[in-house]
Structure 1
Amino acid sequence: MAKEIELKLRLSPAQARRLQAHPVLSGNKPQKYQLLNTYYDTPDFDLRQRGIALRLRRKGWAVWLMTVKCGASGAGGLAQRSEWEAPTQPGVFDFSIVTDSGLREFLEAQHSRLQPVFSTDFTRTAWTLDQAGSVVELALDRGKINAIPVAGDTAPVSEPLCEVELELVEGASPDALFDLAIALASDLHLHPEIASKAERGYALAEGVLANPVKGFVSTVNKDMSPVDSFRSIALSCLTQLQRNEAGAIAGKNPEYVHQARVAIRRLRSAFKLFSPVLGVDFVEVYSPRWRELASGLGSARDWDVFLTETLAPLEEAFPGDADLAVLRAKGEATKAKAQASAGIVLTQKDYSQLLLAFSAALFRVDPPTIDAQGKASALKLRKFAGRRLQKRAEMIEQLVNEHGKMNAERRHELRIAFKKLRYALEFFAPILPCKRLSAYQLSLSTLQDLLGTLNDQVTASRLIKEMHPKGEPNPLTRGWIAGRTQLLVTALNDELRGFMTNRKPWL
């Protein structure tokens, strides 16, 4: 079994032409050949459900290969997959090459049900490069992906293919791949591609855009160091972000932008949570860049919440109100502009370069020699988690116990503090006691929902004031928001009293 380590990058045909003239490739003669790949699965896509790609490849005109790949593409375009490949003949599947016995038995059991699902037909131009002691193959693939028509379809569906694959031929570290990609990306617009050709083929065959992707369950474990845990969490956040890119750019469903924002918010929270064990330079370079990106996606979500959760109930309660109709028209127009603007942010070269540079930095980040407390930073994860969770809980207690009125500004601070605690609990959940954690998280979730809805009322008041033709919201909308706010504040105070008596799951 081979271990495939590759970095996949998307580019336009114009950038592809520039790539072939790039100084990095100067004096290096490429190989050029045609590749026709047909991917197989069962009618129920059982292979895809297990993360398996099975293809028959014709290289040139006479060489046929069967390939089995197992494992998903990773964040930042980097993929590390198990791969088995051997010569074959058209239509022949010999799974004896698969050394994983469980996988081999599964494939053999599905043999009679296999059918072609889609194909890729492209020209590969490949250069072999020496890169910092490693050997890297740079392959430029240009062609198309074709969905194989099913009975009743009149014509095949296809989409263009133009991408670069950097594969580690000799060497064990992905550093060489990232170094080469960053050097090329300084002159070209190369975007880290999280979707493999197989994923794109399946999507084309089904004819649907993947659903918005929520945050993934944390995979940290007690044997990880704090730095390794941060790396795992950060890569998970990047994966969530990239899985929502296409939908956010398409601009038809605001949930994609929302989930992209959530991914960045979780990543920024992880920066703050793990800052004592991360190098100062690393935090100072990347934390502000993610904050800037988040601000470019912000307003689209605000308008969507306003239209669906504030304005819609008003319209239902007061049908035909002329002022509400004006707000609806202006709100929809402004939301569309904000949605389009968010999509544009995710197509910019700056965003692509941030993904690439940050992914590279994640694989290289090391703990500082001394942490902020002047102690060795090689702290056991369970102890580190307890300290950081306790600090976040104390921030909440301080805000709740402060004298004076719990006004909108204080509630906003409290909402952010609860959000930080919630994300921290989700990150560390695998190493915390399950029973105590579940009850604590349930109470925390209820409070965060209340605080989030209260914040939405503040945002709604601001948005209405900005677009109202008279400069001030009319008594109807103003009274509705004020009444709803009062009900929420009462519920919030009741929940806070209960939460403060809960036993903390990390103690």
Structure 2
Amino acid sequence: MAAAGIAPLPALQCRRGGAGLASDATAPRVQSMNTSSSRLAPHVEHVSAKQVAARTLRLRLDNVWAELHAACDEGQVSERVHRLRVATRRTLAAIEAFRDLLPTHRAAWFAKRLRRIRHSAGDARDLDVLTERLVREPVQAAPLMSAAGQGARGRLVAMLARKRDVSRLPIRELRETLAAADWTGRTEKLVDGIARRRGRVPFGRYARRRLKPLMERFFARADHKLRDAAEIHRLRIEGKKLRYALEIFSGAFPAPLQAKCQESLERLQRTLGDFTDHAAAADRFRRWSREDGACAERDALTALRKAEDDLADKARQAFAKWWNASRRRQLRRAFERTLKRRTSA
């Protein structure tokens, strides 16, 4: 039942035994949830945080379940795997955001399975990206520019295609395992457990309390000198956590300030993403070049690794120039103003 002050969320079509289910009762047909459709209506700061948590978790867990099935189907598999990974990240963020309102053991069960899905989808997605880049983008590495190099490149694409096929298997296995474990039934029990929790903390107060430590953790990381790829990756992770939390709690803050913070974090993610993508690609090419079966392609893999290392270094320098002290101060001030003001301000 919709609470006063909250616009109804999009209808969910994956209730067990309900109309609109596919012939396989475990394969829901749910329209994928994007960022804009999952945001709460404005001015919900006085609504119970429990109610917001229940709605958010139900929507996001149902969306993961739908995307998990879609990623196992034929067709636009690459895009579906990407959407599955994003859906799991956003759902894990919601579990963390509302952690103290959730039944502990049920939340832990979902968090563990979501991390498995994220890991499997992440491996598959990384291979998708590498394959698409190798096929579509010109490679500047000299050993791949000659006729012989083009042949090696073709063999690498074939190798990646085989690895992509293998990377899909864990996703399909997870779907079967989680269907047997009654994912949808467990979702219902988790949501019911939230409703039974005692207390009625207003969502606005709850959002400010939960967002503040995430903000402090992010800026503690951001203010440190980023010495290596691992530290840059950790900053990106903290930025993602803060961005997802800001999205979850968006209804509790003034829209203009919230939008400014969200835009800055999204740009940070894009800028950092250029570096981490190239660094991850270089690492994969390095590992593959050391495998026993890579003898014929070792020169090509080494050339690709060097090219990715160079691109990663350029991206790191570009990020360091962009992410200066002035930009960090501006973003911190925007977040501090956001936390101080209410939606009614």
Per the TM superposition, whether the score is higher than 0.5 is yes
Alpha-carbon separation, structure 2, partners of 1:397 and 1:350 = 37
Question: Kindly tell me: are residues 247 and 363 of structure 1, through their superposed partners in 2, closer, same or farther at Cα, counting changes over 3 Å?
Answer: closer
Alignment partner, residue 303 of structure 1: 127
Structure 1 263/479 Cα, relative in aligned 2: closer, same or farther at 3 Å?
same
Structure 1: distance between partners of 2:170 and 2:110: 23
Q: Residue by residue, what CA displacement relative to the aligned partner does 1:227-259 show, whole Å, maximum 9, x if unpaired?
A: 222221122213432443453122432111111
Separation in structure 2 between the aligned mates of residue 241 and residue 369 of structure 1, nearest angstrom: 25
* Among candidates 37, 47, 55, match of residue 232 of structure 1: 55
Given the superposition, is the C-alpha separation of residues 392 and 367 from structure 1 closer, same or farther in structure 2, using an over 3 Å criterion? farther
Query: Which residue number corresponds to residue 205 of structure 2?
Result: 383
Which residue of 454, 462, 465 maps to 2:275? 454
Deviation sequence 1:346-391 (CA, Å, 0-9, x none): 2x04335342232222331237979xxxxxx632211221122221
SS in 2 for 1:252: coil
What secondary structure sits across from 2:339 in the alignment? coil
Deviation at 1:213, TM superposition (A): 5.5
After TM superposition, the structure 1 = structure 2 runs for residues 468-479 of structure 1, keeping only pairs within 5 Å, are 468=289, 469-470=294-295, 474=301, 476-479=303-306
1:232 and 1:368 map into 2 onto residues whose CA distance is 14
User: Given that residues 81 and 125 in structure 2 are in contact (C-alpha distance below 8 angstroms), is that contact kept between their aligned partners in structure 1?
Assistant: yes
Partner residue of 1:247 out of 62, 67, 70: 70
- For the residues of structure 2 that align with 1:410 and 1:286, how far apart are their CA atoms? 28
Specify whether residues 231 and 336 from structure 1 end up closer, same or farther in structure 2 by C-alpha distance, changes over 3 A only: same
Change in Cα spacing, 1:383 to 1:473, as seen in structure 2 (3 Å) is farther
Per the TM alignment, residue 340 of structure 1 is displaced from its structure 2 partner at its CA by 4.7
Higher strand share: 1
> Which residues in structure 2 correspond to 1:286-301 (within 5 Å)?
286-301=110-125
1:326-365 to structure 2, matched below 5 A, reads 326-346=155-175, 348-365=176-193
AA in 2 matched with 1:260: L
One-letter amino acid matched to 1:235: R
CA contact (8 A) 2:85 2:121 kept: yes
Tell me, in whole angstroms, the C-alpha distance in 2 between the residues paired with 1:399 and 1:226: 29
CA distance in 2, matches of 1:457, 1:233: 34
Counterparts in 2 of 1:42-61, with a 5 A limit? none
- Give the conservation status (yes or no) of the 8 Å contact 1:75–1:235: no
Aligned pairs for 1:95-134 (under 5 A) are none
Q: Aligned AA for 2:90?
A: R
Deviation digits for residues 372-417 of structure 1 (CA, Å, limit 9, x no counterpart):
xxxxx632211221122221111111112235x4311111111111
Indicate the residue corresponding to 1:420 in structure 2: 241
Partner of 1:256: 80
Unaligned runs of 5+ in 2: 2-9, 341-345
> CA separation in 1, counterparts of 2:177 and 2:97?
29
Q: Deviations over 1:128-159 (max 9, x none)?
A: xxxxxxxxxxxxx9xxxxxxxxxxxxxxxxxx
**Cα 1:464–1:475 shift into 2, 3 Å:** closer
Q: Distance in 2 between matches of 1:78 and 1:459?
A: 43
| Aligned-residue offset at 1:302 | 1.1
For the pair 1:214 / 2:34, whether they are aligned, the reply is yes
SS of equivalent to 1:501? helix
Q: Tell me the equivalent position of 2:314.
A: 487
Structure (1 or 2) with the greater helix fraction: 2
> How many Å separate the matches in 2 of 1:334 and 1:485?
24
Q: How large is the Cα RMSD of the aligned pairs?
A: 3.2
TM-score, normalised by the number of residues in structure 2: 0.77
- Alignment check: 8 A CA contact 1:278 1:365 kept: yes
User: Quick one: distance in 2 between partners of 1:325 and 1:362?
Assistant: 49
> Number of aligned pairs?
311
Identity %: 19
CA distance 1:465–1:476, change in 2 (3 Å): closer
**Secondary structure of 1:416's partner?**
helix
**1:214-234 deviation per Cα after TM superposition (whole angstroms, max 9, x unaligned):** 343312632332222222112
The question of whether the paired residues in 2 share the 8 Å contact of 1:244 and 1:259 is answered with: yes
**Which amino acid letter does the alignment assign opposite residue 506 of structure 1?**
L
Where do 5+ consecutive residues of structure 1 fail to align?
A: 4-70, 82-140, 142-160, 164-189, 196-209, 371-376
Structure 2 CA distance, aligned partners of 1:354 and 1:499?
A: 45
Give the corresponding residue for 2:288. Answer: 467
- Tell me which residue corresponds to 1:155: none
Distance 2:280 2:74 in 1: 22
CA distance in 2, matches of 1:301, 1:479: 22
Q: In structure 2, what is the equivalent of residue 138 of structure 1?
A: none
Aligned equivalents of 2:15 and 2:126: distance in 1?
Answer: 28
Q: CA deviation at 1:432?
A: 1.5
Separation in 2 of the partners of 1:494 and 1:79? Answer: 54
Q: 2:90 aligns with which of 252, 258, 266?
A: 266
Shift of the 310–451 alpha-carbon distance from structure 1 to 2, 3 Å rule, reads farther
How many Å apart are 1:331 and its aligned residue?
0.9
Q: Which residue of 1 aligns with 2:28?
A: 193
Task: Work out the CA distance in 2 between the residues paired with 1:431 and 1:288.
Answer: 29
Identify which of structures 1 and 2 has the higher relative contact order when contacts are C-alpha pairs closer than 8 Å and 6+ apart: 2
The 5 A counterparts of 1:31-180 are: 72-77=11-16, 162=23
In our comparison, the structure showing a higher alpha carbon Rg is: 1
SS at match of 2:201: coil
CA distance in 2, matches of 1:369, 1:243: 28
Identify which of 299, 324, 340 aligns with 2:153.
324
CA apart distance, 1:429: 1.6
1:506 aligns to what? Answer: 339
- Correspondence for 2:107 among 267, 283, 291: 283
- Tell me how far apart the structure 1 counterparts of residues 231 and 137 of structure 2 sit (CA, whole Å): 27
- Structure 2 residue 258 is the aligned partner of structure 1 residue 437: yes
